[in-house]
Amino acid sequence: MLKPLREISPGRRNALGLAFFVLFFVAWGIATLGGFVPKTFLADPIAMLRSGWVLLTEQGFAKDIGFTIWRVLGGFVLAAIVAVPLGVAMGAYKPVEAFFEPFVSFARYLPASAFIPLLILWAGIGEAQKLALIFIGSFFQLVLMIALQVGGTRRDLVEAAYTLGASDVGIVRSVLIPAAAPQIAETLRLVLGWAWTYVIVAELIGASNGIGHMITDSQALLATDQIIFGIITIGAIGLVSDVLFKRLNRRMFGWASI
């Protein structure tokens, strides 16, 4: 019987998650192999796997995957290095928040893809343009979310620290950052997923390698099997990175309910 917010065992959770993927592929196979959907529009799972094997063994797709992972991690790490301290400062100090928050709120509504023409003009079509696009797409989201988490620290903890003689800097270092650290880690995990959408957009335009470049080439050939394999590859890598990030967060902040 389903009960709201009731926890389930890890084994049952994994089994339910796996069951969805099994049902998804079964439905996909019935729709395509059964002739309900033309293969020109949607390749069947078997053809997709065969094309994926050819891509990996004969067409150097593994290198494309490596380039895409490098771009995601590079742009995301750069964004986090700048966004985390700025977000902490905005959450801790109201004058800093008042100065930056209007612009950050304005900028985070701008679609990162709209900057592609300018970034190509400024940085060309090399790696700098792609890293910059991921940076823009991740940075403003991170800053505002981290500022809200730091600013939402329980006031009784702050008052207790002042009562014990903590300084203003000590409050930030010993109270605000530790209290918000689990939520900041979860924010980083979530925004890393968004970074994957930005890298594919960057690779669809002016790229000579990467998963997005392969998808674009496959579109020109109407190779839906290759397109689907590229999409599934992105999802698989994202799922693995998300699970690893979540486990790392739980190990680092086991005392928090994340």
Q: pLDDT tens digits for 26-54?
A: 998 998 888 888 877 888 899 999 999 99
If you compute the radius of gyration of the chain from its CA atoms, what whole number of angstroms results?
A: 22
Residue 1 in this model has a pLDDT that exceeds 70 = no
Kind plus residue range of the DSSP H or E element containing 112: none
Q: 254 versus 246: which is more confidently predicted?
A: 246
Can you count the helices (H) and strands (E) in the chain? Answer: 11, 0
Q: Which domains does the chain show, CATH number per domain?
A: 57-252 (1.10.3720.10)
Burial class of residue 174 (count of CB atoms within 10 Å of its CB; 0-12, 13-18, 19+): middle
184-207 pLDDT, tens per residue? 999 999 999 888 888 888 887 767
Q: Are 96 and 150 in contact (CB under 8 A)?
A: no
pTM of this structure: 0.85
